[in-house]
Structure 1
Amino acid sequence: MKRFSVLLTACLLTSPLVAQPDLVILVRHAERATEPAGDPGLTPAGQQRAAALAQALAGLRVNAIVTTQYRRTRDTAAPLAQASGLQPLVVDAKAGHVQAVADAVRAQTGVVLVVGHSNTVPAVLAALGGPKLVDLCETSFHHVFTLQPGPQARWAQFSYGAPSKPPEAGCL
């Protein structure tokens, strides 16, 4: 019995006891409209991109979605959320947002989609253990970043949907 309790204690000390996702997928919201000024939705191109995102991720069995309160992030996630029967978790974009999103992601398991903004997606990727990248360009909407969290975090970048305009200097 003593040997079993020592073995159990050793396993508990070396095994994580907190939830952690297997895979995190990070994207910027799709192309946004110009009206209304405070909280625009998506353009027709943005709606097509949101549908392309849902199609690109369909086989991954996403089981959690994190967005901001802004319509453009919620609309980008909507096709996948509807197809998967998921209700996105909304994390307000305010002071401490990047850490709040990272904490929300770490509380999930399985595959998690994060739909953010040009200046938050790279920061959230870094907060979760990925590389520190420059912000996304205002004209870049096609990037997808994936991260397998853990001590040996692995990440990748690929594109989806229609190509974006060429990047300006100093951003992706």
Structure 2
Amino acid sequence: MRLPHRFRFPFALLLASLAAACSTAPSRDVSAPLTFVVVRHAEKATDDPENPSLSALGQARAAALAERLRDAPLVAAYATEYRRTQQTAQPSADARTLPVTAYYARGPASEIAAQWKQAHATGTVLVVGHSNTVPDLVAALCGCVTTPMDDSEYDRLSIVRIGGDGRATLEVGRYGSSPIP
């Protein structure tokens, strides 16, 4: 069945609009990578056994993280629902007037990583988690093997870069001052 001529253009426009609306993933710019910076929360205080805030050392580490990310094109900051992770991300987010978006700490890493990859096409995304969640998040983001994180390790900085071709690379470094043993 052929549509009458007067309906062809609006119908074609409707189809084009529907096709555009169905495309939910942002297009990836092949020249600019999507970068995830994943860290564990900084050192915690002893003020609350269930939901502690950052200690003075932890606040200094959070400031060091913000300084480390000063020139990065930060587009989002994610932290679990706990005070220590929120406070670790806050200085970096404040420098860009970005909100710190909470994510559920016990959610499946693969699902969380897929959501972040779909939500962001380029730029740098800060993710703050916990010693028992960061390695799984990094592995899910890069599709690679990661090493476990000791409960006393606060300075690991994992950088996952995802190129326009979808390939990921992982760089692991350190940031802030390491406590003297």
Could you say which TM-score interval applies, normalised by the shorter chain?
0.7 to 0.9
Partner of 1:60, secondary structure, is coil
Contact 1:30 1:49 in 2 (8 A): yes
Partners of 1:61 and 1:91 in 2: CA distance: 21
Partner of 1:63, secondary structure, is strand
Q: Which of 50, 65, 68 does residue 53 from structure 1 map onto?
A: 65
Contact 1:66 1:105 in 2 (8 A): no
**1:63-113 Cα deviation digits (max 9, x unpaired):** 10111000000000011111110002211223x342343133211232101
Q: CA deviation at 1:164?
A: 4.4
Aligned to 2:19: none
Aligned to 1:128: 141
Partners of 2:143 and 2:114 in 1: CA distance: 15
Partners of 2:105 and 2:114 in 1: CA distance: 14
Aligned to 1:6: none
Contact 1:65 1:86 in 2 (8 A): yes
Normalising by structure 1, what TM-score? 0.79
Change over 3 Å in CA distance of 1:157–1:165 after alignment to 2: farther
Contact 2:93 2:100 in 1 (8 A): yes
1:112 maps onto 2:125 in alignment: yes
Contact 1:122 1:134 in 2 (8 A): yes
- Any runs of at least 4 consecutive aligned residues in structure 1 with deviations exceeding 3 A, and if so which? none
Query: Quick one: which amino acid aligns to residue 110 of structure 2?
Result: Q
Partners of 1:121 and 1:164 in 2: CA distance: 20
Aligned to 2:75: 63
Partners of 2:172 and 2:126 in 1: CA distance: 14
Contact 1:130 1:155 in 2 (8 A): no
Most deviating of 145-154 and 110-119: 145-154
| Ranges in structure 1 where 5+ consecutive residues have no aligned partner | 1-15, 167-172
Query: Quick one: which amino acid aligns to residue 169 of structure 2?
Result: R
Contact 2:160 2:169 in 1 (8 A): yes
Contact 1:91 1:97 in 2 (8 A): no
